[in-house]
Structure 1
């Protein structure tokens, strides 16, 4: 009987907190400030001088997908019309042997990509963060190495996009 009363009080307390607006929850794990409605994500210049083509397009698509499909934010066409900006550049691309067979041949290669990015609210002078993000993935060099490298690069970019998204929304 006492346990039921405690449970009832706890449920009542949770409902009260939720209705008072002090408790915010989003099913995507993000809680965005009410005054942030738009984000500008320009293409990240590929300064890596190597690797798979269209890295900028692939990273931009991954970032837009996360911010637009996993939050209530709308994509802005310009910095001036945005409440937040996520920008940067692809600074490094490496494709190196990861595993070598007994005959000295590489059986697995690892693609590693590094991106330097900055996230800032447009109404603030200081950036929320400015960091380097890296992602890596291995692929079998004996099975269609061109497609393997492309798929590994896409996976590395997805890791980077996830980490950038998580860092941007973790303070929300």
Structure 2
């Protein structure tokens, strides 16, 4: 009986040791690889080189909100007084039909948004992170009664799609900057 009791105690000890020891992995979204002196981030309105009206306003606002949601930074809409600056350009938006009804009319679209984004440490005067070819791709059902001939018309009529794209841009950009991807 004593041997069984010792084995059980040893097994419990091993389980406790394994449970309390770290495996080296952490949850994503928790990292922060920015210099500690970066407290204020300037995020001016992204440039918009597309025909999609107001997309730059929406994307910029979502990126600002995402940084604020991380709780560590003050976010400004200007570059003056910032420790780091995030600048971006929406370089392209394209629309591609991906689903059709019985009349061969498009009912589903793939939307691609191309961006150029740069995050610069103002104090050290160096680029911390950049992506000159960030692409967000998502698929959307066409809203009933809307006729989408181009990306501008589609996103103008389908605000849910524009919201989702903006949220994806914000999450991916901020995560990439903070988690050093």
Q: TM-score scaled by structure 1?
A: 0.76
Which stretch shifts more, 36-45 or 127-136?
127-136
Matched, 1:92 2:92: yes
CA contact (8 A) 2:29 2:179 kept: no
- Choose between structure 1 and 2 for higher RCO, CA contacts under 8 A separated by at least 6 residues: 2
Matched, 1:136 2:137: yes
CA contact (8 A) 1:133 1:163 kept: no
Closer/same/farther in 2, CA of residues 55 and 106 from structure 1, 3 Å limit: same
Query: 2:73 — aligned with what?
Result: 73
Query: 1:157 — aligned with what?
Result: 166
Q: 1:68-110: CA deviations, max 9, x gaps?
A: 1213100135424111111011110112212123432111122
Closer/same/farther in 2, CA of residues 142 and 89 from structure 1, 3 Å limit: closer
Closer/same/farther in 2, CA of residues 47 and 106 from structure 1, 3 Å limit: same
**What is the number of residues matched between the two proteins?**
160
- Paired with 2:170 and 2:126, the residues of 1 have a C-alpha distance of 22
Which stretch shifts more, 63-72 or 102-111?
102-111
SS class of match (2:90): strand
Structure 2 counterpart of 1:166, from 156, 162, 175: 175
Give unmatched runs, 5+ long, in structure 2: 1-8, 147-153
The 5-angstrom pairing of residues 79-118 of structure 1 reads 79-118=79-118
The 5-angstrom pairing of residues 12-23 of structure 1 reads none
Q: 1:104-152: CA deviations, max 9, x gaps?
A: 2111122221111101111223312221222233332252436763321
- Paired with 2:84 and 2:37, the residues of 1 have a C-alpha distance of 10
SS class of match (1:108): strand
